Amino acid sequence: MAITGASEKAALQALKASDWHLEGAFDVFYSQPQIAVANTLHLEEVYNRYKEPDADMIMVEGISQLCNDLQVDPQDIVMLVISWHMKASTMCEFTRQEFIGGLQSIGVDSIEKLREKLPSLRAELKDDQKFREIYNFAFAWAREKGQKSLALETAIGMWRLLFAERNWPLIDYWCQFLQVRHNKAISRDTWAQLLEFVKTIDPQLTNYDEEDAWPYLIDEFVDYLKENGLVQHRR
Amino acid sequence: MMNGGGGGGQKKRAPRIEPFRHRVETDPKFFDKSWRKLHDAIREIYNHNASGLSFEELYRTAYNMVLNKFAPQLYEKLTENMKEHLEDMRTCIDAAQGGLFLEELQRKWNDHNKALTMIRDILMYMDRTYIPTNKKTPVFDHGLELWRDTIVRSPTIQGRLSDTLLELIHSERTGEVINRGLMRTTTKMLMDLGLSVYQDDFERPFLEVSASFYSGESQQFIECCACGEYLKQAERRLSEESERVSQYLDVKTHEKITAVVVNEMLANHMQRLILMENSGLVNMLVEDRYEDLTRMYTLFNHVPDGLTTIRSVMASHIKDTGKSLVTDPERLKDPVDFVQRLLNMKDKYDNIINVSFSNDKSFLNALNSSFEHFINLNNRSPEFISLFVDDKLRKGVKEANEEDLETVLDKVMMLFRYLQEKDLFEKYYKQHLAKRLLSGRAASDDSERSMLVKLKTECGYQFTSKLEGMFTDLKTSEDTTQGFYASTSSELLADAPTISVQILTTGSWPTQTCNTCNLPPEIVSVSEKFRAYYLGTHNGRRLTWQTNMGHADIKATFGNGSKHELNVSTYQMCVLMLFNSSDVLTYREIEQSTAIPAADLKRCLQSLALVKGKQVLRKEPMSRDIADDDSFFVNDKFTSKLFKVKIGTVAAQKETDPEKLETRQRVEEDRKPQIEAAIVRIMKSRRVLDHNSIMMEVTKQLQPRFMPNPVVIKKRIESLIEREFLERDKTDRKMYRYLA
């Protein structure tokens, strides 16, 4: 309990599972991080530190403070990852439940611990499955409340952020194209399908098939690239 | 003489047959003697001396020989003997010179046949007993074989025979007359000797020689003949060869020689002939040369891919001609003429296919698809076809009698079928029909309805339901107007102008934005009474006067005393009525009083003041353009031969470019919900479907009305995904799923 900071219950569980061997118990404990830490009082305390004085939410100022304490830029993508863990419904806001539940699922109960966890949170973006979930989560999260589609500027910002991690060579052209040709909000389907596009179609578009079920915006993007000679490939 | 073998009878006292008690000796010379008899007889037979012989005796001789088991030797001797005779014959035949060769051959052949018949009869017993048992060739056939081997296939005769026959045929082909009877008997002889003899010794060389003959002839002719001439020659040769076969060749040769002629004269030169400049297929089509075309069709029917080639050349020609017709800017100036030309072209090819191509279905199909191809190259075709129908229906039975009109409309329906954008046609037809109906210038109700029926048969009820609604509206309006006059007291209506109201159900009629217009007070008064009447019986409806669509008859008295009834548009009426209270008005004043939009008002004034012969108003200055301060006066010098004068035309015009654009945009807009409806319908029944299948199904469903653009279909799918009617499958992004 002293070493892991686990609760008595969790400690007993771990020891039982490892047949009362201490070393084994550590292994057991650390292999189930989500279930481990559950110091709710700590979490409440942390929450209260950042919440708005007259509302039961953490808003822009609180988040700004939080980022400060974590020593990260508010634009840092790790904030997105954290929001994902929290299942936050809108950016720049955390409800009590979201905040506390999120920290629990990350497996921390203090800012220091959260700060320590930051590298591993960042690493989650490298995992394909998790990246997809975070990416798709980002759409609803970044939306204006009550809107069905994502405003173009926001979408572009998000895409730049996300695809910097993935190193998609066409990201600049994509954003350029949208601003020049599209100038409208982005639908959920387009958002989701873009990820598929990035993952399956190579930057020279050799395996792109226009008869395929890509959203028309992506088809137009391909036309844009071809018209401007940005891809060599000729079918 | 009977050799008895005595089988002892079981019965007592039965007669017993006992052998001779002396030695029976057979005559050692028996065979030779017998043979000698036959030998001599045969000699006589070959010498045409058979009459002195006794058939019975000879038969008996042969019979006895066989009984005495001398059949093999007899057969051998016979063979030898016949060979000798045949060799003699051969000598004679060899000796025959030139033309006598065949005659001599024939003569000897006849002799041999006669001889053989007799010999066979004599040796009948052997034929029936020894020969079958020992599987030997029967006498007659044997005789033929000997003839074949000794004569026909002899080194001196074989080549000579073949050459002679072929030379004769060649002469005949080059125009000389030959002895066909002799030819016939000779070929018959070969046939009698066996099919393989005929084929090997005659038919094969015949076909070879014929092939090179026709190859040469075709080369020669194709260099100097036009296509039509050449085909005539080919036809001639074909019938000549047919005749040749029936006259003196075996019937089985017919097919083969025909194939040779067809191959050498037609198949080998097919492309060159069909595509020959200035005389080939295209030229024949252009000049309606039915006879040549029929000949070409009949002849090339024999050639593999012959008809396919003709058909595709015809189809490209039609497409090219059609394309230049529909893209020629000159032609586009007169829509009615444009369509008339299309109809003429269709008639032309219908005739050609009917007369020369025996109404071949595949050709009709090619014609249809060519038309479909080029008609849709011009996206104004739907509009023009509607204008054509409009023109015909306006003129109606004045110009053509009812039957002719029906025929023309049926033909137009053929063109209609080719249109890919039938919904665009519908929009135009509606517009034009509305103008016709409202101006009262549709000539015949029957013709209009008949046209509607044709469209319904072609496209279904949905297509025409709104159009039919227009007719119903007019009928109902008549009744309503009558009802109005019947129920409203005459005092109220005493001085009011008589109105005839047409109530148009919005949605059935083409939408028009209605602009402002101040009606003259007399009109306002009576029209408001009408409105009150109507709304009294039809609660909850809204009436809006369409001042841009009406017309009026005005009785006018001019300063020079002439009285006329003027038929004008509503706008024109508003303008003219102003002159009841002022002698002169400026444009600005007129504009203010009538509140008619500038563009329409200017057009209206121009038609009242600037059209020669119809100048009801006078304009100062006389310029065409209308400035704010220009003045208008009633033209007191107005004259016309007719009492009733019609001002301004309400006939449908082909659209100006901005109007065209607007109509097209509206059509595109209308298509979107139709595409969506199709998508939903399909997905509802299939539940899950992949992208390509959905594209295909949607196109198939909508094709009778228009060709949906794949990009638009995609956008509609996405819109439906957005609105949660559909979703993409979670695992396969190319599949869509219907969301209930």
Position B310 scores a pLDDT of 93
Angle, vertex CA B106, rays to CA B104 and CA B107, nearest 5: 65
Q: Which residue of B has its CA nearest to A193?
A: B733
When pLDDT is cut at 50, 70 and 90, the band that residue A233 belongs to is low
Position B650 scores a pLDDT of 38
When pLDDT is cut at 50, 70 and 90, the band that residue B5 belongs to is very low
pLDDT one-digit tens code per residue, A6-29? 566 666 766 776 677 777 666 665
C-beta atoms of A213 and B718 within 8 A: no
Q: How far apart are CA B281 and CA B289, in angstroms?
A: 10
Q: How far apart are CA B373 and CA B306, in angstroms?
A: 24
Place of tokens 């499958």: B729
CATH number, span B29-151: 1.20.1310.10
CATH number, span B310-473: 1.20.1310.10
Q: Which CATH architecture has domain B660-738?
A: Orthogonal Bundle (1.10)
Q: Report H helices in chain A.
A: 8-17, 22-30, 33-36, 40-50, 60-70, 77-86, 96-106, 111-123, 128-142, 152-166, 171-177, 188-200, 216-227
When pLDDT is cut at 50, 70 and 90, the band that residue B399 belongs to is low
C-beta atoms of B722 and A193 within 8 A: no
* Average of per-residue pLDDT values in chain B: 87
Structural tokens at position B405: 């009109």
* Average of per-residue pLDDT values in chain A: 82
Name the segment(s) of chain B with CATH classification 1.20.1310.10. 29-151, 155-286, 310-473
Position B397 scores a pLDDT of 63
Q: Do A145-228 and A40-125 fall under one CATH topology?
A: yes
Q: How far apart are CA B449 and CA B467, in angstroms?
A: 10
C-beta atoms of A189 and B718 within 8 A: yes
Percent of chain A with pLDDT over 90: 1
C-beta atoms of B733 and A219 within 8 A: no
Q: How far apart are CA B233 and CA B184, in angstroms?
A: 26
Q: Which of A187, A216, A217, A223 to mutate to test the interface with B (most CBs of B within 10 A)?
A: A216
Angle, vertex CA A151, rays to CA A147 and CA A152, nearest 5: 160
C-beta atoms of A193 and B733 within 8 A: yes
Position A14 scores a pLDDT of 66
In three state form, how does the secondary structure of B101-163 look?
HHHHHHHHHHHHHHHHHHHHHHCHHHHHCHHHHCCCCCHHHHHHHHHHHHHHCCHHHHHHHHH
Write out chain B residues lying below 8 Å of A192, CB-based.
728
A191: nearest Cα among A153, A125, A139: A139
Backbone angles phi and psi of B268, in degrees to 5? -70, -20
pLDDT one-digit tens code per residue, B132-168? 988 889 999 999 999 999 989 988 889 999 999 999 9
* Residue B353: burial class (beta carbons within 10 Å; 0-12, 13-18, 19+): buried
B406: nearest Cα among B393, B387, B425, B391: B393
Portion 677-716 of B in contact with A at CB < 8 A: 690-692, 711, 714-715
Write out chain A residues lying below 8 Å of B715, CB-based.
216
Position A184 scores a pLDDT of 85
Place of tokens 């060709």: B707
Position A57 scores a pLDDT of 86
| In the predicted structure, residue B3 carries a pLDDT above the cut 90 | no
Position B6 scores a pLDDT of 47
Q: Which residue of A has its CA nearest to B723?
A: A148
Q: Does domain A145-228 have CATH number 3.40.50.410?
A: no
Q: What kind of fold does domain B551-646 have according to CATH?
A: Ribosomal Protein S5; domain 2 (3.30.230)
Give the CA distances from residue B63 to residues B26, B136, B144, in Å, rounded to whole numbers and listed in that order. Answer: 16, 17, 23
Candidate CATH numbers 1.10.238.10, 3.40.140.10, 3.30.110.70, 1.10.10.10; the one for domain A40-125: 1.10.238.10
Position B245 scores a pLDDT of 94
C-beta atoms of A219 and B715 within 8 A: no
C-beta atoms of B711 and A219 within 8 A: yes
Q: How far apart are CA B324 and CA B338, in angstroms?
A: 12
Please, what CATH class does the domain formed by B155-286 belong to?
A: mainly alpha
Q: How far apart are CA B416 and CA B466, in angstroms?
A: 19
Q: Strands B644-646 and B563-569, how do they pair?
A: parallel
Q: How far apart are CA A113 and CA A97, in angstroms?
A: 19
pLDDT one-digit tens code per residue, B461-512? 888 888 888 888 888 888 888 888 888 777 777 777 888 888 888 888 887 7
Say yes or no: B528 contacts chain A, CB-CB below 8 A: no
Position A42 scores a pLDDT of 77
Provide ipTM, 2 decimals.
0.74
Position A4 scores a pLDDT of 60
| In the predicted structure, residue A58 carries a pLDDT above the cut 90 | no
pLDDT one-digit tens code per residue, B664-719? 888 899 899 999 999 999 999 999 999 999 999 999 999 888 999 988 999 999 99
pLDDT one-digit tens code per residue, B614-645? 888 888 888 878 888 888 888 888 888 888 88
- Comparison of pLDDT for B557 and B651, the residue scoring more: B557
Listed range (A102-116, B231-245, B298-312) with the worst mean pLDDT: A102-116
pLDDT one-digit tens code per residue, B384-395? 999 999 888 887
| In the predicted structure, residue A36 carries a pLDDT above the cut 50 | no
pLDDT one-digit tens code per residue, B59-95? 998 898 888 888 888 899 899 999 999 999 999 899 9
Write out chain B residues lying below 8 Å of A215, CB-based.
714, 718
Say yes or no: B734 contacts chain A, CB-CB below 8 A: yes
Which residue ranges make up each domain of chain A?
Answer: 1-37, 40-125, 145-228
C-beta atoms of A216 and B722 within 8 A: no
Percent of chain B with pLDDT over 90: 40
Q: Cβ(A174)–Cβ(A217) under 8 Å?
A: no
Position B293 scores a pLDDT of 93
B303: nearest Cα among B334, B273, B258, B266: B266
Position B352 scores a pLDDT of 94
Q: Which residue of A has its CA nearest to B690?
A: A213
| In the predicted structure, residue A92 carries a pLDDT above the cut 70 | yes
Position B356 scores a pLDDT of 93
